[in-house]
Amino acid sequence: MARHIKIFDTTLRDGEQSAGCSMSSAEKLTIVRELLRLKVDIIEAGFPASSPGDFASVQEIAAFVANQAVVCALARAVAADVEAAGEALTKAQRGRIHTGLGVSPCHLKDKLNMSEDDALNSAVGAVKLARNYTDDVQFFAEDAGRANKTYLARVLEAVIQAGATTINVPDTTGALLPHQYGELISWLLAHVKGASEVTVAVHCHNDLGMATASSIAGVLAGASQVECTINGIGERAGNAALEEVAVALDLHGEEMGVECNISLGKLTRASRLVMSISGMKLSPHKAVVGANAFAHSSGIHQDGVLKNPRTYEIIDPVRVGARPTQIVLTGRSGRAALKHSLAELGYDLDEASFLQVHERFVSLADKKAQMYDEDLEALMAEHGRSQDALWKLSVLQVSCGTPKKATATIELEGPGGKKCTTHAFGTGPIDATFKAIDELVKAPQADLLRFAVQAITRGSDALGEVSVQLSNEQGQVFSGRGADGDIIVSSAKAYLNAINRLLAWNKA
Ligand code: KIV
Ligand code: ZN
């Protein structure tokens, strides 16, 4: 039978300790609702002795959670802290006090100014006091990662005897390599009397970017509780990320002989919520929940995932509540990706049309960082307009600025595929372009009624769509549109589109 790994979420306590991330009681309660949906086993709600606000918030969370999860309150190994934690948890149906102190030489000497024996006595005293409030007492040996192993074992043995039911072995500074942390857990399980009768918890910080790896190493070594935060928020470089731990246990649980309760489908939603409440933005490449975690951009990868997502995805995005595999169209995308994206938008092109659109796509994607659905729609509209056009734009070069007049050199493909070129001056590049078109097309006289430019997508490299309206001598109005990354080119296309309509009307 698989060993159950309890997930202890400390987003509201260790997570909230990250710089600039304090949360109101109402915000904490919103996160608690999400943690319950995720089915975490234990919620560390706060540190009641730290402020009246934290005390009240722990009280509120304890009452709200009822028996849906264990609610835990942090306390240093001093009587006032333990009492505050105990009182804040009065309404908890399953309350846990988490008390402890630093055990490494540096914490003992420089932070606590205590001898090893005094610290051990404080630890035992705090655990005994906590047991007056609840049977569920967790002890943390802060900075266990850098502690003297023999002393650490002595402290843990003493607190187990005093009534601790969970012993937490934090790598508070994230100093250890995963295999070293795993070895520490194995060693403690072998050398601390009573350790196998209580829960051993892992609590890893991410200073070397190894918090998740170390936590998993701890589980492999026999730990049965992982302490983590949503999005890995926490002091300095943060804590182990709950979503990474949960997915790793899901993917490798069978071979590790373990399982956990986390409802994976709620991970993305929980991540977004914590990001918006805490203000801690995620990097796009953050594992499991980053914006690009399931985005494929290079042509080779896109071709692979379109054939079978497993070629480049070990996690099914839908399983963790994310949008399905995203194909990000860029200049590096291949034909398969473009065909797939067009099909998703409902376009089914014959091979000849597809090749024309692809050629246009490549030249646009070369200039733009990313092609969005709106860009593809504009591309297809442009393709449709060019199909029956009498006059098409082949080349446009403009020179403008100050103090000289603007000039436009243009090449058009006219009826029968004939190419012709000219250049014209104007007050600006658009005026010069329109004059050059007029000179080549020689359309009947028409007035420009409207000229409007609009960005199709975000960013300064967005496609610009131009719409124009012309009116002929009979008062008939002809609209034209054009889209391109260069708004002078868009203008030329829009103007030609309106002229082509005017010429078609004349012919009819
Ligand atoms: O990192 C740490 O040691 C802690 C303890 C308070 C558990 O957060
Ligand atoms: Zn911590």
Q: Which of 134-138, 217-221, 434-438, 469-473 has the lowest mean pLDDT?
A: 469-473
H-helix or E-strand spanning residue 400: none
Is the shortest distance between the CB of 16 and ligand 1 below 6 Å? no
- Give yes or no for residue 462 having a pLDDT over 90: no
* Average pLDDT along the chain: 94
Confirm if 184 and 201 have CB atoms less than 8 A apart: no
Give the pLDDT confidence of 13-71 residue by residue, as tens digits. Answer: 999 988 878 788 999 999 999 999 999 999 999 999 999 999 999 999 999 999 999 99
Q: In the prediction, which pLDDT does 51 show?
A: 95
- Is there a contact between 271 and 250 (Cβ–Cβ < 8 Å)? no
Predicted confidence at residue 505, as pLDDT, reads: 85
pLDDT of residue 216: 98
User: Is 464 a pocket residue for ligand 1 (Cβ < 6 Å)?
Assistant: no
pLDDT at 426: 95
Its pTM stands at 0.80
- Spatial distance between the Cα atoms of 8 and 1, rounded to a whole number of angstroms: 22
3-state secondary structure of 373: helix
User: Is residue 172 within 6 Å of ligand 1 at its C-beta?
Assistant: yes
Q: What is the reported pLDDT for 324?
A: 82
Tell me the CA–centroid distance for residue 244 and ligand 2, in Å.
Answer: 17
Which bound ligand lies closest to the C-alpha atom of 104?
Answer: 1
Q: What is the mean pLDDT of residues 133-149?
A: 98
> What whole-number distance in Å separates Cα of residue 353 and Cα of residue 314?
36
In this prediction, residue 179 carries a pLDDT of 98
Higher-pLDDT residue of 463, 155: 155
- Please give, one letter per residue, the 3-state secondary structure of 51-110: CHHHHHHHHHHHHHHCCCCEEEEEEECCHHHHHHHHHHCCCCCCEEEEEEEECCHHHHHH
Q: Which of 9, 13, 106, 142 to mutate to test the pocket of ligand 1 (most atoms within 8 A of CB)?
A: 142
Token readout for 298 is 């290079």
Chain centroid to CA 227: 21
pLDDT score for 141: 98
Residue 108, pLDDT score: 98
Would you say the CB of residue 181 lies under 6 angstroms from ligand 1? no
The alpha carbon dihedral of 457, 460, 462, 465 has a sign of: positive
Residue 13 CA: nearest ligand 1 atom is 8
Predicted pLDDT at 364: 86
Measured in Å, residue 268 CA sits from the centre of ligand 2 at 23
Centre of ligand 1 from the C-alpha of residue 142, in Å: 6
Task: Tell which one of 96, 99, 172, 236 to mutate to probe ligand 1, the residue whose CB is within 8 A of the most ligand atoms.
Answer: 172
Dist. CA 7–CA 261, nearest whole Å: 8
The atom number, within ligand 1, closest to the CA of 170 reads: 3
Residues 6+ apart with CB under 8 A from 351: none
Q: Quote the CA–CA distance of 271 and 322 in Å, as a whole number.
A: 11
The mean pLDDT value for 113-130 works out to: 98
> Is ligand 1 within 6 A of the CB of residue 81?
no
Q: How far apart are alpha carbons 111 and 125 in whole angstroms?
A: 19
Is the minimum distance from the CB of 17 to ligand 1 under 6 angstroms?
Answer: no
Q: Average pLDDT, stretch 194-207?
A: 98
d(CA 234, CA 170) in angstroms, rounded, equals 14
The finding on whether 14 has its CB within 6 A of some atom of ligand 1 is: yes
pLDDT of 232 > 80? The answer is: yes
pLDDT grade for 279, boundaries at 50, 70 and 90 = confident
Query: Would you state the pLDDT for residue 175?
Result: 98
| Largest distance between two CA atoms of the chain | 103
Tokens for 413, please give them.
């493909």
Mean pLDDT of 287-305: 91
What is residue 456's predicted lDDT score, i.e. its pLDDT?
75
Q: Taking residues 493-500, what's their average pLDDT? A: 93
The owner of tokens 């470089």 is 237
Nearest to 375 by CA among 365, 386, 363: 365
Average pLDDT over residues 449-453: 91
Residue 203 Cβ contacting ligand 1 at under 6 Å? yes
Does 170 contact ligand 1 (Cβ within 6 A)? yes
Between the ranges 215-219, 336-340, 344-348, 378-382, where is the mean pLDDT highest?
215-219
47 touches ligand 1 (CB under 6 Å): no
Q: Is the pLDDT of residue 301 over 90?
A: yes
Strand intervals (E) in 368-437: 392-399, 406-413, 419-426
Residue range 410-436, pLDDT digits in tens: 999 998 889 999 999 999 999 999 999
Select from 226, 230, 321 the least CA-distant residue to 278.
230
**Residue 44 near ligand 1, beta carbon < 6 Å:** no
Helix (H) or strand (E) holding 327: strand 326-327
In angstroms, the CA 406 to CA 433 distance is: 9
Beta-carbon contacts of residue 8 (< 8 Å; ≥ 6 apart): 40, 41, 42, 44, 72, 201, 225, 226, 227, 228
**CB-based neighbours (< 5 A) of ligand 2, an ion:** 14
Answer yes or no: are the C-beta atoms of 53 and 22 closer than 8 Å: no
The yes-or-no verdict on residue 136 having pLDDT over 90 is yes
In whole angstroms, what is the distance from residue 350 CA to residue 181 CA?
A: 59
Please state the rounded mean pLDDT for residues 197-219: 98
